[in-house]
Structure 1
Amino acid sequence: MASLIKAASDFVPAGEAVFFRSALAMPVIIAWLAMRGDLKTGLKAKRPLMHGWRGLIGVSAMGCNFAALGLLPLPEVTVLGYAAPMLTVLLAAVMLGERLRLFRMTAVLLGLAGVAVVMWPRLAFNDLSDAAFWGVVLILVSAVMRALAQIQIRRMVAVEETSAIVFYFSLTATMFSLLTLPFGWSWPELPVLGMLVASGLIGGVAQIFLTSSYRFAGAAVLAPFEYASILFAIIFGYMFFGEVPTVNVLAGAGIVIVAGIGIILRERQLGLKRGKARPNMTPQG
């Protein structure tokens, strides 16, 4: 999906790409909800304002990410995007009151150090006209927005069905992306239109697969597979765009992945301990 968006970025603005990604995913998601018998719950929003806020944050993250794809190599955007889970841990401590233990804090700082290794060569503050500099800024803003979206989702799952969260994100993202219509939208030529349509369909299918995967395995089992995206980013970046990752990108990716997997394994260990302790807990916890 990211490769298709990147290829189309020379012809359409990021807002238009967000529209196609969101709008074309909706038929796929509606069909999936109907097959599962969740269409009724998927269309029922108990807290519309929460969905609106989540949609605004999510579409901002997506727009910044798509804009960055037009300015930076695909592997670099992928690695810098790994900052989002690290920032989620920090924001969860501040906004949700989650405990931030020494191990998690160390791993988060290590992961952010890996991100800094990747972006440092791009931060030429003396040349603010450099496209790569703004690409880094956009992907970091996207990472912050994605982290905020995760915090919002954690709040929403207490009152909303997962099917509703999935459906209304696509709906609100489509609506918010239309606000960018005056900013350079154009009717794309057939090959570009095909790429945009494919990005929406692929994005919808990927969203369904990701959501469905949590029915069969826990987050601690699935989360490490997210880091496989760097392998595909390197392969597709080289095949389609002739991009070869720099030493900084590879080194930073290694640091971030080690830190991320460290957090995941620690969370899994704590989860097992909580599970063993739960039978001995009082009804009040």
Structure 2
Amino acid sequence: MPSGNNLMPAGLKFMLLSALGFALMAACVKLVSASGMPIFQIVAARALVSLLISYADIKRKKIPVWGNNKPLLIARGTVGTIGLICVYYAIANLPLAEATILQYLHPVFTAVLALLFLKERIHLSTIACIVLSIIGLVITVKPNMITSTAVDLPTLSVGVAILGAFFSAVAYTIVKRLSRSEDSSVIVFYFPFIALPLSLILLGDNFQMPTLFEGVLLILVGIFTQIGQVCLTKAMQTEAASKATAYSYIQVVFSIILGAVLFSELPSVWTLIGGGLIIAGTLINIFGSKRGLAK
């Protein structure tokens, strides 16, 4: 008789751990930002931890650090840094569930960018994804268009969150191009390599000496991020990419739970409906594209 552990696919285990890691990372960002810690300092702390770990990984593999396509690697690091700053700002200024849901708009931008720059075919499922995501976005952000009793999310924070999703999509598109010529560890390395000095420059004289608790949270941001990335890679290696990506949406559930427990944030029914449409659209895109529903 199979044990409980054998009933759960390895890919699902790794993706659950990845989603939990990213959700805990977001919760730590929100906790430490609540103390007044500048966003740029949080980004720098995360970059420092990631830089040390990724550099050690490259040395373990005994491969060249700087890669082949340096201009595109630098572009990936720069775009990724801008996206991370936007995501952290959104986490700090929006409820955790809403910030997470808005980040999942990136498949829409990725589909359009892949069409424009990678010449990938667009599918009917992708069009359905875009339509459902836009409807879901409106319901989540501007529910008073439906009922006057609902409360809109702050426009600036929502705009920054959407920018974060866009720059994440740009980064994914660049990574897809780089994967043809670069080792994955080198691609990962360039992100903190660019993020650390750039965030320190933007931080300027606003450095805030962290308390012991804040210091622990900053370290945990880097550790939970690394757990999320490693488990995501493992999930992709042990499970079909479409299934692994579908599993990642459990992060929204984790974020709702953490938001309720740590910050007393309960998502509105409009957030749940809008977020459900965004997630449904992306899942349709994942499985529809896999079946080849071409336009």
Query: In which range does the TM-score fall when normalised by the shorter chain?
Result: 0.7 to 0.9
| Structure 2 partner of 1:257 | 279
| Conserved? CA contact 2:76–2:190, under 8 Å | no
Match of 1:40, SS state, is coil
Task: Give the structure-1-normalised TM-score.
Answer: 0.86
- In structure 2, what is the Cα distance between the partners aligned to 1:116 and 1:94? 25
| Conserved? CA contact 2:54–2:189, under 8 Å | yes
- In structure 2, what is the Cα distance between the partners aligned to 1:181 and 1:254? 36
Aligned pairs for 1:143-162 within 5 A: 143-162=165-184
| Conserved? CA contact 2:141–2:153, under 8 Å | no
Aligned pairs for 1:27-176 within 5 A: 27-33=52-58, 37-41=60-64, 43-121=65-143, 132-176=154-198
Q: Which has the higher contact order (CA 8 A, sep 6+)?
A: 2
Q: Which moved more, 1:184-193 or 1:221-230?
A: 184-193
In the TM superposition, residue 261 of structure 1 has moved relative to its aligned partner by 0.9
Structure 1, unmatched stretches of 5+, are 124-129, 274-285
- 1:135-173 deviation digits (Å, cap 9, x = unpaired): 101101101111111111111111111121112222222
Structure 2, unmatched stretches of 5+, are 1-24, 146-151
- 1:84-134 deviation digits (Å, cap 9, x = unpaired): 1111111211222221133321222112221221111499xxxxxx98221
Q: Which amino acid aligns with 1:72?
A: L
The structure 2 residue matched to 1:17, chosen from 42, 56, 63, is 42
- In structure 2, what is the Cα distance between the partners aligned to 1:262 and 1:194? 40
Q: Which amino acid aligns with 2:42?
A: A
| Conserved? CA contact 2:38–2:203, under 8 Å | no
Match of 2:249, SS state, is helix
The structure 2 residue matched to 1:189, chosen from 211, 233, 237, is 211
- In structure 2, what is the Cα distance between the partners aligned to 1:227 and 1:154? 21
Task: Tell me whether 1:3 sits opposite 2:27 in the alignment.
Answer: yes
In the TM superposition, residue 33 of structure 1 has moved relative to its aligned partner by 4.7
| Conserved? CA contact 1:22–1:174, under 8 Å | yes
Match of 1:215, SS state, is helix
In the TM superposition, residue 26 of structure 1 has moved relative to its aligned partner by 2.6
Task: Tell me whether 1:228 sits opposite 2:250 in the alignment.
Answer: yes
Task: Give the structure-2-normalised TM-score.
Answer: 0.83
- In structure 1, what is the Cα distance between the partners aligned to 2:168 and 2:158? 15
In the TM superposition, residue 239 of structure 1 has moved relative to its aligned partner by 0.5
In the TM superposition, residue 6 of structure 1 has moved relative to its aligned partner by 0.5
Q: Which amino acid aligns with 1:230?
A: V
- In structure 1, what is the Cα distance between the partners aligned to 2:130 and 2:241? 18
- In structure 1, what is the Cα distance between the partners aligned to 2:225 and 2:62? 19
% identity of equivalent residues = 27
- 1:168-213 deviation digits (Å, cap 9, x = unpaired): 2222222221221216221111111110111111112221221232
Q: Which amino acid aligns with 2:130?
A: V
Distance 1:33 1:208, change over 3 A: farther
The structure 2 residue matched to 1:217, chosen from 239, 250, 260, is 239
| Conserved? CA contact 1:28–1:201, under 8 Å | no
The structure 2 residue matched to 1:243, chosen from 239, 258, 265, is 265
In the TM superposition, residue 268 of structure 1 has moved relative to its aligned partner by 2.2
| Conserved? CA contact 1:26–1:204, under 8 Å | no
Q: Which amino acid aligns with 2:210?
A: P
In the TM superposition, residue 257 of structure 1 has moved relative to its aligned partner by 1.4
- In structure 1, what is the Cα distance between the partners aligned to 2:82 and 2:207? 17
| Structure 2 partner of 1:283 | none
Match of 1:46, SS state, is coil
| Conserved? CA contact 1:80–1:119, under 8 Å | no
| Conserved? CA contact 2:57–2:185, under 8 Å | no
Q: Which amino acid aligns with 1:3?
A: A
- In structure 1, what is the Cα distance between the partners aligned to 2:205 and 2:121? 43
Aligned length, in residue pairs: 263
Aligned structure 1 segments of 4 or more residues deviating by more than 4 angstroms: 31-34
